[in-house]
Structure 1
Amino acid sequence: MRAVRLCAWPLALLLTGCGVGASGVQPVEGSPPAVTVAARQYWATDDDHLRGVVPAKEPAQPGTADAVRSLLTGLNGAVSAANLFTRLPPLPEGGGTPRVDVLASPAGQLTVVLPYDVRRLDKLAVGQVVCTAWSAEAARRDSLAQIPVRLTGDGDHARGPYRCDDFPTDAQTP
Structure 2
Amino acid sequence: MPDSIDALGRDAVWGLPGSVFVVAGVAAVLFVMAKTMVWGRWIYAVGGRPDAALRMGIPVSWVLVSVYVISGLCAGIGSVILAGRTDAGSPLFGNLLELDTIAAVIIGGASFLGGRGHLGHALIGAIMIGVIRNALNLLNVNVFFQLIVIGVVIVIAVESDVLRNYLEGRVRVMQAGRQS
- TM-score, with structure 1 as normaliser: 0.30
Structure number with higher relative contact order (C-alpha < 8 Å, ≥ 6 residues apart): 1
- TM-score, with structure 2 as normaliser: 0.29
User: Bigger radius of gyration, 1 or 2?
Assistant: 1
Structure number with higher strand proportion:
1
